[in-house]
């Protein structure tokens, strides 16, 4: 897969995922569960949301089915779950997404359908992975700001 469009897309998606984890590295439970933005999102709620997005787009949309959730549906901005549970969930969803991505051609049409206009515009796996790069990068930016507000640290991320 080296040097292919598929490997390049996966490289960018993984870089954004790593950014999310690196930005939050070293924060304790109190900081991970503190909302500092007017929206009320907590860093941990954002990570759970990103895990849900991985599950939704790669499993429900690309394959048309999804593994059972480890807990009942919950709409963030926060989460009642522990940091260990949420980070394990996020990593597991990313691994499952990578498996689906590896086994599916970029041109494969989705077997499921995302509601709304984005669903109508998502014609293949390529569109799904581009959306997930954008979604993860957008929320990594939010988390970057949150981290700065929490403890003043900036410039965090994979090096």
Do 136 and 50 contact (CB within 8 A), yes or no?
yes
- Residue predicted with more confidence, 27 or 155: 27
Q: Provide the pLDDT for residue 118.
A: 80
Residue 158's pLDDT is what? 64
Contact 93, 51 (CB under 8 A): yes
64-100 per-position pLDDT tens digit: 999 999 999 887 899 999 999 999 999 999 999 999 9
pLDDT in the model for residue 121: 82
Distance CA 114, CA 29 (A): 33
Is the pLDDT confidence value at 2 over 80? Answer: no
Residue 49, token pair as written in the block: 């949301």
CB atoms within 10 A of CB 41: 19
pTM over 0.75, yes/no: yes
DSSP string, 39-99: T---HHHHHHHHHHHHIIIIIIIIIS--PPPSS----SSS-SS-HHHHHHHHHHHHHHHHH
Fold exhibited by the domain 5-151: 1.20.120
Tokens of 106: 């970029």
Q: Rounded to whole angstroms, how far apart are CA atoms 142 and 76?
A: 15
């Amino acid at each position: 897969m080296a040097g292919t469009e598929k490997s390049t897309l996966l490289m960018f998606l993984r870089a954004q995922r790593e950014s999310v984890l690196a930005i939050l590295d070293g924060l304790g439970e109190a900081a991970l569960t503190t909302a500092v933005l007017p929206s009320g999102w907590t860093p941990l709620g954002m990570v759970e949301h990103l895990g849900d997005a991985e599950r939704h787009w790669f499993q429900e949309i690309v394959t048309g089915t999804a593994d059972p959730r480890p807990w009942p549906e919950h709409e963030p901005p926060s989460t009642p779950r522990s940091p260990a549970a949420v980070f394990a969930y996020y990593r597991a969803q990313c691994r499952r997404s990578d498996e689906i991505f590896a086994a599916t051609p970029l041109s494969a049409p989705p077997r499921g359908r995302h509601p709304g206009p984005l669903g109508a515009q998502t014609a293949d796996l390529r569109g799904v992975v581009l959306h997930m790069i954008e979604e993860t990068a957008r929320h990594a930016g939010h988390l970057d700001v949150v981290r700065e507000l929490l403890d003043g640290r900036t410039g965090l991320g994979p090096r």
